[in-house]
Chains A and B, each alone.
Chain A
Amino acid sequence: MNGALLIMKKEYMELSKDRRTLFFTFVMPLILYPLIFLMMGRLGSSDAASRAGRPSRVCVADPSGVFAPVLRDAQGDFTVVPRPPGDVRQAIRDQKLELSLEVDPAGAEKLARNESLDVRVLYDNSDESSKLALDRFKNQLRRQENLWVQARLKALGASPQLALPVKLETVEAGDMSLFLGKLVGSFLPYLLMIMMYAGAMQHGIYATAGEKERGTLLSLLATSLPRTQIIIGKLLYIFSIGILSALINLLSMAFSVGRLMASTGAADAPAQAAVTGVAALATPAALGLTFLLMVPLGLFFANFILLGGIQARNTLEASTALTPGIFVVVLLGVFSMAPGIEKMTWLPYVPVLNVSLAIRKLFSQQGNGFEYLVALVMTVVLAGLMTWISTRMLNRESAIFRV
C-alpha cells in the first residue's frame, strides 16, 4: 500500500506544480458560483424592484367609461396611455405598453341592467412587466366586482352573503422540510455524480494516457513498485480529486444559493422557510450516509476513467472515449430526478441508480435501511470488480505499449 500512496503523492506533487490547473480545479468554483448567484440575485431583485415601483402602461378602449374610475382608484399601479397607432399586439410585444383593455361599448348599460359586460385584455405572457400589469388589473377588478355584486344584492334586498355560499379556508398540511428534502434529494445525486465524474476526468486522463503520451509511464513501470500498487495509487488520486472537486463545487453552490435565498428571505417568507428547511434536513447523519455511498460510486467512476485512460493511445483518444461518459451520467441523473421513480420496485437493485434512490430517500426522510445496504454493497462490489479489471489491464502489455 505504501507504493500506492507514493504514486498518489507523486500525482499530487505534479498537480501542485501547475498553478493554473490548481486554480481552475479548487479556487475557481469558490469564486464562480458566488459570483454567478450574486449577479443573478442583483439582477433579479433590481429588475423586480424597478417593475414593482413603476405603474403599468395601459391603453383603454372604453366608450361607456365603465373602467375609468376602476383604474383611477388603483393609484400608482396604472398609467393610462393613448392607444398606439397600428397593431396593439405589436406595441405590447415592443414593450411600448404593458396592457390593452377593450371594454364592451354597451358596458355601462349592461351594468345598469345587472348583466355581464365583456372585457378583452391583451398582454404578453413572455414579458414579466406585462404579466405584472395583468395581475394588477385582475386584483383591481376583483375588488370592483365585489363592490358591484354587493350593490346588486343590496338593490335586490338580499343578504350580502348570497353570492358567497361557501367560505373556503385552506390549511397547508404538508411538511415544508419534507417537500424541500425531496427536491434536494432528487438534485443532489445528480449534482454529485456529474461533478465527481467531470472533476476527475481530465486529471485521470493526465495521469494515465498523458503519462503514456509523455513517455513517463514506462519509467514508473521500470521501478520495483508492483504494478498493482501503481494502478491503485493512480486510482486513489483520480478518486480523491473527483470527491474533492464535487465537494468544493457543491459547498460553493450551496453557500451561494443559501446566500441568495437568505438575501431575498426578508421580503419572501417561503424562501426563508426553504433555508431553514434545507438546514434541518442536512443532518450529519444524512450527509454522512450520503458520503458513504459516494465513496464506492466515486471509485467506480475513477476506475472507469482509469480504464479509458490506460486503454487510450494518447490524451485526445482518452478524452474522446471518456467524454460520452458525462452524457451517461447526465442521463442517469435526469432519470434519478424523475418523479415517482421511488415507486419502481426493481430500482433498488440497479447499480448506480440505486445510489440515487437511496440518497433521495435519505433527504426525504423516507430512508429504507435494506435498500441503502443493497445500494452500498452493490456499489462496493462493483467498484472492487472494476479495480480488479483495471489492475489486470495495466498488466496487459497491449495496453501499456499501445502507442
Chain B
Amino acid sequence: MITLTDLHKAFLVKDKRTRAKRRIEAVRGITLEVRPGEIYGLLGPNGAGKSTTLRMIAGLMRPDRGRIEVCGVDTVRRPEQARALVGYLSTDLGVYSRFTPRELLKLFGEFQGVEARVAERRGMRLLEDLGLADFADVRMEGFSGGQKQKVSIARALLHDPKVVIFDEPTTGLDVLTAKTVLDLLRVMKAEGRSVVVSTHVMPMVEAICDRVGIIFDGVLHGDAPPHEILARWQVATLDEVFFRLAEGERA
C-alpha cells in the first residue's frame, strides 16, 4: 500500500543567462493511494513531475511538504525501513558492469539484508524468469541495454519488496523484452504487490494499469481507471488528454 498526501516538491534552478535562481514547483499537492495487487500508471510529459514523485516514494528524495507512507512506514521519518519495502527501477540506473549478474545480485542481497542462500536462489529464479539465466556468470560489460535493464529489474525485486516502482521500465527496450517486463508486472500484481509505473507508452497503460493518474505541471489530473479517464475527457486516447492539458496551459 502506498499513500501520498498533499505532496509538494520544489527545486531551485539557476538561469544561465541572468544567473538568477528560480524556484520550480515540480510536484504540487499530489494525493493518491495505490492498493496491494494494483498497478497504478503515472502518466505525463517530460518534466511533469513523474520521476520526482517516484523518487520521493522510493525514499531517494524528501518532500518539502506532505506525507508518504509505504505499507504504513513514513519514508521521511524511517527512510531505511521504507526503502527496504520498495523495489525501485529507473532507466537512469546503471549496473556495475565489471560484475556478473550473479555477483551483483549476491552483493545487493547483502545490502538489503537478504540471506546469501536466499538471495542466490531468488536471484537465479528472477534471471530465469527474465530469460537471462545463461548469462548469470558473464561480466555485464558487453551486455545490451535490454539485458542490463533485466538485471536491474532482478536487482530491484531481489529483496521481495511489497511495493514496486518502475520509472519508464520499457524505454529503449525491444518488443520482446518489453513484453517480458509487462508479464513480470502482471505477476507482481497477482502476488499482491502495489505497483507504480510511469510511462509514455499509452497502449501499455491501457493493457496493464488498473488506475492511472496524469501529472501535468506538477499537478495530478484524474486518478481513475483508464476507461473512466477517457470518458471524463470525452476523448478516444490518453494522448488526447495530454493535448487538452497542454492547450489549457497555453490558453
Residues in A lying within 8 Å of B, measured CB to CB: 3, 6, 10, 13-14, 17-18, 214-216, 218-226, 397, 400-401
Instruction: Please state if B96 and A216 are interface contacts (CB–CB under 8 Å).
Output: yes
Complex CA gap A225/B156 in Å reads 14
Q: Known A222-B86, A224-B83, A226-B80; judge A13-B103 contact (CB<8 A).
A: yes
Q: 8 closest pairs, A vs B, by CB?
A: A215-B94, A224-B84, A17-B98, A223-B111, A214-B94, A222-B88, A216-B94, A224-B83
- A6-B107, A218-B92, A224-B159 are known; give 12 further A-B pairs, CB within 8 A: A13-B99, A17-B99, A214-B96, A216-B95, A218-B90, A221-B60, A222-B60, A223-B83, A224-B80, A224-B81, A397-B62, A401-B61
> What bracket does the count of chain B residues touching chain A fall in?
20 to 34
B139 within 8 A of A: yes
How near does chain A come to B16, taking the closest CB pair, in angstroms?
A: 14
B113 on the A face (CB < 8 A): yes
In the assembled complex, which residues on chain A have CB atoms less than 8 Å from the CB atom of B81? Answer: 224
Asked if A219 meets B98 with Cβ closer than 8 Å, knowing A224-B81, A397-B61, the reply is: no
Cβ of B112 and Cβ of A224 under 8 Å apart?
yes
Minimal Cβ-Cβ distance residue in B for A400:
B60
B90 & A223 in contact (Cβ 8 Å cutoff): no
Among residues of A, the one whose C-beta sits closest to the C-beta of B97 is: A214
Chain B residue numbers with a CB within 8 Å of A400 are 60
Q: Does B169 contact A (CB under 8 A)?
A: no
A–B complex contacts, Cβ < 8 Å, 11 sampled:
A6-B107, A6-B111, A13-B99, A14-B98, A216-B95, A218-B92, A223-B111, A224-B81, A224-B113, A224-B159, A397-B62
Most buried by B among A14, A221, A222, A225: A222
B207 at the interface (CB under 8 A from A): no
A212's nearest neighbour on chain B, judged by CB, is B94
Bound: A152/B103 CA distance, A:
94
Q: Are A219 and B152 in contact (CB under 8 A)?
A: yes
> Which single residue of chain B is at the shortest CB-CB distance from A224?
B84
Are A215 and B83 touching (Cβ within 8 A)? no
User: Would you call B58 an interface residue if the criterion is a C-beta within 8 Å of the partner chain's C-beta atoms?
Assistant: yes
Tell me the smallest distance from the CB of A323 to a CB of chain B, in Å. 25
* Cα-based distance from A225 to B111 in the complex (angstroms): 6
B residues with a Cβ closer than 8 A to A are 58-62, 80-81, 83-84, 86, 88, 90, 92-99, 103, 107-108, 110-113, 139, 152, 155-156, 159
Select the residue from B81, B96, B111 with max chain A CB neighbours within 10 A: B111
Q: Are A215 and B92 in contact (CB under 8 A)?
A: yes
CB distance from B76 to the nearest CB of A (A): 12
Contacts of A18 in B (CB 8 A): 98
Bound-state CA distance A224–B61 (Å) is: 14
Report chain A residues within 8 Å CB of B99: 13-14, 17
**Contact between chains at A222 and B58 (CB < 8 Å):** yes
Chain A residues, Cβ within 8 Å of B90 = 218
Residues of A within 8 A of B62 (CB): 397
- What residue of chain A has the Cβ atom nearest to residue B88's Cβ? A222
Check A3/B111 contact, CB under 8 A, given A222-B86, A226-B80: yes
A221 proximity list for chain B (CB < 8 A): 60
Distance, CA A162 to CA B88, complexed state (A) = 100
CB contacts (< 8 Å) of A219 on chain B: these are: 93-95, 108, 152, 155
Given the complex of chains A and B, what is the CA–CA distance between A69 and B84 in angstroms?
Answer: 98
Residues from chain B with a CB closer than 8 A to the CB of A6 are: 107, 110-111
Contact indicator B93/A215 (Cβ below 8 Å): yes
Shortest Cβ distance from residue A10 to the other chain B in the assembled complex, whole angstroms: 6
Question: Which residue of chain A is the closest to B111 with respect to CB atoms?
Answer: A223
Q: How far is the CA of A219 from the CA of B158 in the complex (A)?
A: 13
Cα-based distance from A10 to B106 in the complex (angstroms): 11
Smallest CB–CB gap between B73 and chain A, Å? 11
Shortest Cβ gap from A31 to chain B (Å): 24
Q: Which residue of A lies closest to B93 (CB)?
A: A219
Rounded to whole angstroms, the CA-CA distance of A214 and B98 in the bound complex is 12
CB distance from B53 to the nearest CB of A (A): 14
Q: Which residue of A lies closest to B108 (CB)?
A: A223
- Cross-chain contact A218 with B93 (CB below 8 angstroms): yes
Q: How far is the CB of B66 from chain A (nearest CB, A)?
A: 16
